[in-house]
Amino acid sequence: MTWHVLGAGSLGSLWAARLFRAGLPVRLILRSTERLAAYRAAGGLSLVENGQSHLYPIPAETADTSGPVQRLLLACKAYDAEEAAASLAPRLGPNAEIILLQNGLGSQDAVATRLPRARCILASSTEGAFREDAFRVVFAGQGHTWLGIPGQTQAPGWLAELTQAGISHDWTADILGKLWRKLALNCAINPLTVMHNCRNGDLRDWPHEVAALCEELTRLLLSCAQKDAADGLLTDVQRVIEATAANYSSMYQDVARGQRTEIAYLLGYACAAARQQQLNVPRLDALHAQLLAHLAARGLPLV
């Protein structure tokens, strides 16, 4: 079964290169014929690991190529997920599977609603990769990927291919818990690093602000029936702040580069969920409003 990987960005390239070099059939799906021509001119995808670069000549195509897509790894940003998945709708067979690599929450439901016949598998990853250049990606941080369909304990047989490709992973029926926990970590760290213009570690200087956000996020998680995701949130946030002290958060980097953020799927999603639960989260709401104003002042999208 061919792995179609939509998006030759950071995570998509990281997955595609590892699957390809493990001898598995992989095809990249690129945005346009121009991108496809540029990719072919580059001769393939380059993955940089431990300072060593390798070129992988993975076959590529655009969405409007003919041929069925049975297993799709959707490796775009959350705000692109629904349209990107929909562009492949005519090629998806009745039992097609889509693995959704997006951070945050909200985009997964959008894809599932748009493509009701597809089997959507949610993923949450702590791996780190960034694009050094077009079609050249650096594997920056070892991590782990959780995969799952909410409530389903039976893992698909093809997970063995991820093992074969050296992709650290586990299946979980509580994938929503994993996604909520990561969302909460992101909400407690990333917007503050933008507003204080600082690295993750500098948040040690604002312990009360971090603690107050974690208190509201914990109440939100509990009211959304996410007890496991709520347990020990503040301690975990403090651990991540220490472990990533020298780093700039992904949202900080997006804003610094003048790129669109995934705010609507992170803090925006949390605030909307609180409203839906009629839960009072004044600190989260205030931070969300400040962040939106900050993005607007820089001409960046608010969703």
Ligand X SMILES: CC(C)(CO)C(=O)C(=O)O
Ligand Y SMILES: NC(=O)C1=CN([C@@H]2O[C@H](COP(=O)(O)OP(=O)(O)OC[C@H]3O[C@@H](n4cnc5c(N)ncnc54)[C@H](OP(=O)(O)O)[C@@H]3O)[C@@H](O)[C@H]2O)C=CC1
**Residue 77, amino acid:** K
State yes or no: residue 145 binds ligand Y (CB under 6 A): no
From the list 27-35, 184-192, 224-232, 273-281, the region that binds ligand X by CB under 6 A is 184-192
Candidates 240, 267, 273, 284: give the one binding ligand X (CB under 6 A): 240
Q: For residues 24 and 33, what is the distance between their CA atoms, to the nearest angstrom? A: 25
- Residue 173 CA neighbour count, 13 Å, CB half: 4
Q: For residues 246 and 182, what is the distance between their CA atoms, to the nearest angstrom? A: 19
At 26, list the tokens. Answer: 């992989």
State yes or no: residue 172 binds ligand Y (CB under 6 A): no
Q: For residues 150 and 273, what is the distance between their CA atoms, to the nearest angstrom? A: 18
* Residues in 244-273 at the binding interface with ligand X, rule: CB under 6 A: 244, 249-250
Question: Cα–chain-centroid distance for residue 148?
Answer: 14
Task: Please say if 182 is a catalytic residue.
Answer: yes
Residue with tokens 């610094």: 256
186 contact choice in ligand X, ligand Y, none (CB below 5 to 8 Å, kind-dependent): ligand X
244 contact choice in ligand Y, ligand X, none (CB below 5 to 8 Å, kind-dependent): ligand X
Q: For residues 126 and 143, what is the distance between their CA atoms, to the nearest angstrom? A: 5
From the list 1-9, 156-164, 222-230, 242-250, the region that binds ligand X by CB under 6 A is 242-250
* Smallest separation, CB 191 to ligand X (Å): 10
Q: For residues 52 and 4, what is the distance between their CA atoms, to the nearest angstrom? A: 26
Candidates 45, 60, 78, 224: give the one binding ligand Y (CB under 6 A): 78
Candidates 4, 27, 77, 288: give the one binding ligand Y (CB under 6 A): 77
- Give yes or no for a contact between 279 and 117, defined as CB atoms under 8 angstroms apart: no
Q: Helices 175-195 and 282-297, interaxial angle, to 10°?
A: 60
* Smallest separation, CB 292 to ligand X (Å): 18
Question: In terms of DSSP bridges, do strands 145-148 and 169-171 run parallel, antiparallel, or are they unpaired?
Answer: parallel
108 contact choice in ligand X, ligand Y, none (CB below 5 to 8 Å, kind-dependent): none
Is residue 156 packed enough to be buried (19+ CB in 10 Å), middle (13-18) or exposed (0-12)?
Answer: middle
Candidates 69, 98, 101, 240: give the one binding ligand Y (CB under 6 A): 101
Size of the site for ligand Y (CB under 6 A): 28
189 contact choice in ligand Y, ligand X, none (CB below 5 to 8 Å, kind-dependent): ligand X
Element (H, E) at 234: helix 233-243
Of all residues in the shown chain, the one whose CB is closest to ligand Y is 9
Closest CA to 100 of 118, 121, 117: 121
CB closer to ligand X, 227 vs 239:
239
CB closer to ligand X, 3 vs 252:
252
Candidates 200, 262, 267, 273: give the one binding ligand Y (CB under 6 A): 262
Catalytic residues: 182
Binding residues for ligand Y (CB under 6 A): 6-12, 29-31, 35, 75-78, 80, 83-84, 87, 101-103, 125, 127-129, 131, 262
Binding residues for ligand X (CB under 6 A): 185-186, 189-190, 240, 244, 249-250
